[in-house]
Each structure stands twice: as C-alpha cells, then as structure tokens.
Amino acid sequence: MFMADIAGVRVLYTEDYSREEDCHLCAAKIPQFSPDICIIESTYGVQLHQPRNVREKRFADVIHSTISQGGRVLIPAFALGRAQ
C-alpha cells in the first residue's frame, strides 16, 4: 500500500491485499489518514474462500495422493502469496 500527494489530493493505492495474515505476508493495516482517492486492485475482492487451513490441507492431500500413486506434481504459480 502506498500513498501519494498530488497537488494536495491524497491518493491511496492498495494493490491486492488481505486482512488475513499468512506465513509470508502480514495482514494489511488500515492507514492513519483518509485518502481523497483510493485505488484498490481486487482480483479476488468478491470471492468467498474456505478457511486457509482447509484449503492448505486439501492442497497437501492432493499432492500426497498424487505422489503416493507414482505421479508427479507441477505447480504453476504467478504471484506473491501463492508461489511461496
């Protein structure tokens, strides 16, 4: 998240963010100021997700099952928070 002051107009740009902390990123914090303009990148902004521990277990279970059956796993990852 960053803020720019352009001719007295405060613009806040948030990128895609989460208020949920994970093993790689801190939860987003509410800024101490009120911006005049807020630009929010919201790729998953309207999605309802299962709890992280449920998603992580399902992910690990599929990998374990595939490998135990002699398969291979390729995980394409493209963004911070998913690739780590």
Q: What is the mean pLDDT of the chain?
A: 81
* Backbone region of residue 27 per phi and psi (left: phi > 0; alpha: psi in -120 to 50; beta: other values): beta
- Predicted model pTM: 0.49
For residue 64, pLDDT beyond 70: yes
pLDDT at 53: 87
pLDDT in tens, 69-83: 999 999 887 665 555
For residue 34, pLDDT beyond 60: yes
For residue 55, pLDDT beyond 60: yes
